[in-house]
C-alpha cells in the first residue's frame, strides 16, 4: 500500500538549476574552464564532487584543487538561493496535498546537506519532512538508488510503498532502481526526452497531481 512520498529537491521543489549553472560557470571560469549552458546540463542530477571530477578529468586544470572548486560552487549556490531562489510552481500545493493524505514524507537529494538545509530554511518547508537525506553520505550518488533507499529506510517504508518525485533522468533512474513508483516533472527544455518513458507518470507541473492521478499510481 503506497503511503510514502519522497521528493528530489533541485529543479523540483526549488528553481535552482539555473543558479547551479551560473555558479558552476563562474567558478570553473576561475580555473580557465568555460562551460556553456548545454555542457552544464550534461551533469544535471549528479553530486557536485562528481560534476567537478568529470570536468577536472577532461580539462586537467591547475591552480585549484577539485575539492576547493567543489566548496566554491556550493558556497556560491547557497548564496544565490538565499538571495534569489524561488520555489517551483506548485510547491506548497504538493506538500500540503500529501500532508493532508497523511503520507510519510521524505527528501532525497544529490546536493550536500548544508545546501539542502539552506533551501529548506529559505523556503520554510523543513517541517513537512520526516526524513531528509543527502547522497553526499552514500558511496554512490544518483543514478544509484542508495539515497532513495536510505530515505525510505529512515521512514520505515518499503520502497514498493513509495512514490518518488523527480525532475531529471538521473534522478528518475535512481528512483526506479530503488523500485519506487516514479513521477517526473521535467524542465521545459528537456520535457520530450524519450527516456522519461521509464517513469510511471510525467507531469508538466506539480499542480497537475491530484486524486485521480494518485489513484492511477495505486492501481
**Catalytically active residues, by annotation:** 8, 10
Comparing CA positions, the residue from 211, 172, 193 lying closest to residue 12 is 172
Instruction: Give the burial class of 34: count Cβ atoms within 10 A of its Cβ; 0-12 exposed, 13-18 middle, 19 or more buried.
Output: exposed
Whether cis (ω within 30° of 0) applies to the bond prior to 84 is no
Amino acid at each position: 500500500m503506497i503511503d510514502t512520498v519522497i521528493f528530489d529537491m533541485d529543479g523540483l521543489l526549488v528553481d535552482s538549476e539555473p543558479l547551479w549553472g551560473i555558479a558552476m560557470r563562474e567558478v570553473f571560469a576561475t580555473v580557465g574552464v568555460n562551460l556553456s549552458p548545454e555542457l552544464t546540463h550534461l551533469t544535471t542530477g549528479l553530486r557536485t564532487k562528481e560534476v567537478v571530477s568529470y570536468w577536472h578529468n577532461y580539462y586537467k586544470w591547475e591552480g585549484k584543487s577539485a575539492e576547493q572548486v567543489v566548496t566554491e560552487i556550493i558556497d556560491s549556490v547557497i548564496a544565490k538561493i538565499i538571495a534569489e531562489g524561488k520555489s517551483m510552481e506548485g510547491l506548497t500545493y504538493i506538500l500540503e496535498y500529501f500532508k493532508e493524505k497523511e503520507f510519510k514524507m521524505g527528501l532525497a537529494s544529490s546536493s550536500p546537506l548544508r545546501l539542502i538545509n539552506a533551501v529548506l530554511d529559505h523556503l520554510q518547508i523543513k517541517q513537512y519532512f520526516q526524513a531528509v537525506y543527502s547522497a553526499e553520505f552514500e558511496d554512490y550518488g544518483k543514478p544509484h538508488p542508495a539515497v532513495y533507499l536510505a530515505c525510505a529506510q529512515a521512514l520505515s517504508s518499503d520502497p514498493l510503498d513509495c512514490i518518488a518525485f523527480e525532475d531529471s533522468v538521473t534522478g528518475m533512474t535512481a528512483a526506479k532502481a530503488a523500485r519506487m513508483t516514479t513521477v517526473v516533472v521535467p524542465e521545459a527544455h528537456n520535457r520530450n526526452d524519450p527516456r522519461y518513458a521509464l517513469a510511471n507518470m510525467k507531469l508538466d507541473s506539480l499542480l497537475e497531481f491530484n486524486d485521480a492521478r494518485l489513484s492511477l499510481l495505486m492501481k
